[in-house]
Amino acid sequence: MSRFVLFGCAAILLGANPRGSPADVAAGAATFRSHCAPCHGFTAEGGRGPNLTTGIFYHGSSDADLLANISDGIAGTEMPGLFYSEDRVWQVVSYIRSLSARSHTASNGNPEAGQSVFRGKGCAQCHRVAGEGGRVGPDLTNIGQMRSPEHLRQAVLDPNADVRPRYWVVTLTTKDGRDYTGFLMNEDTYTVQFMDLKEQLQSMQKSDLAAYRIDKTSKMPSYRDSLGARELSDLVAYLSSLRPAPLRADAGSSR
């Protein structure tokens, strides 16, 4: 049965949120801080996970959607489920709803103009969207689903703010005198695997290396000084728009 059919049934059966009192909101906030804040931020305005204060949720904005997504997690994303009773999850839903009151407008940029910025500023030399572009930087095909606009804005202005280990920079010299720089793909006690700057996959024994260093900083330059405010908004709007096409309820698979 498709997930959407399940959600649909849940919405019909569950109806409205039964735990919406101020006390429930406070209890939900406590749960949120313990369980959700590590990704969504202590103010719920996003981090590695999306901003939850806008009232708009990509995976469904109904109470039933939120209940299901918090309880069970969201497949294909880093969102895990909670092991709590429905009542307690409803409290978290109430807390999240209470945040929409202080929501601000989402990115007001123009995605089409942002796409031109993306092309014009050379982003595609390193980043790939839908199979086009470079490979050494993160693939951005679905980045709008993975990251909040705030996080994307920060990543453009300050690439070092959050560098995934996959993009840490390997610099090494082999004992026979060859130099390499690349992006860390895997490492263990004895070996290292990386993509060099020519997009070649490399694997080396550490015992064959004369020098070996890993920098936890990004190779990407900051665009703080090279983008105008408008260009930045447009670029963020474009990146935010990069999402897989939403599944249609009537097109669910029969798995």
Partner 1 sequence: MTQFIWIILTASCMTAQVTSERISNADREPGNWMTYSGNYQGWRHSALDQINRENAGHLKVKWVYQMPTTIFVETTPLVADGVMYVTEPPSNVVALDPATGRQFWRYRRELPPKINVCCGQVNRGVALLGDRVFIGTVDAHLVSLDAKTGAVLWDVTVADYKTGHSITVAPLAVKDMIVCGISGGEYGVRGFLDAYDAKTGKRRWRFWTIPEPGQAGSETWPHGSAAWKTGGAPTWVTGSFDPEQNLLIWGTGNPSPDWNGDSRPGDNLYSDSAIALDADTGTLKWHFQFVPHDVHDWDAVQVPVLVDDEWNGQRRKLVYWAHRNGFAYVLDRQTGQFLRGGAFATQTWAKGLDVNGKPIKLPNTDPSAEGTYIFPGVQGATNWYSPSYSPQTKLFYLAAWENKSVYRKGEQQYSPGNRYIGSVPLIDLPDDPGTGAIRALNPKTGERVWEYKLLTKPWAGVLSTAGKLVFGGSDEGYFFALDAETGKEMWRMNTGGIIRANPVTFMSEGKQTVAVAAGSGIFAFELTQ
| List of residues contacting partner 1 (CB under 8 A) | 27, 30-31, 33-35, 38, 42, 83-85, 88, 163-165, 187-190, 216
Which residues share a beta bridge with 172?
Answer: 180, 212
For partner 1, the closer of residues 166 and 243 by Cβ is 166
Pick from 113, 94, 86, 79: nearest CA to 25: 94
| Minimum gap (Å) between residue 33 Cβ and partner 1 | 6
Q: Which is nearer to partner 1, 23 or 249 (CB)?
A: 23
Helix (H, G, I), strand (E, B) or coil at 211: strand
CB 220 → partner 1: shortest distance, Å?
16
Distances (CA, A) of 123 to 165, 221, 239: 20, 10, 11
117: three-class secondary structure by DSSP: helix
User: Token pair of 226, please?
Assistant: 């090279």
Nearest to partner 1 of 188, 250 (CB atom): 188
Q: For the CB of residue 83, give the shortest distance to partner 1 in the complex, in Å.
A: 5
- Provide, rounded to whole angstroms, the least separation between the CB of residue 72 and partner 1: 13
Q: Token digits for 168? A: 């840490």
Between 176 and 188, CB nearer to partner 1: 188
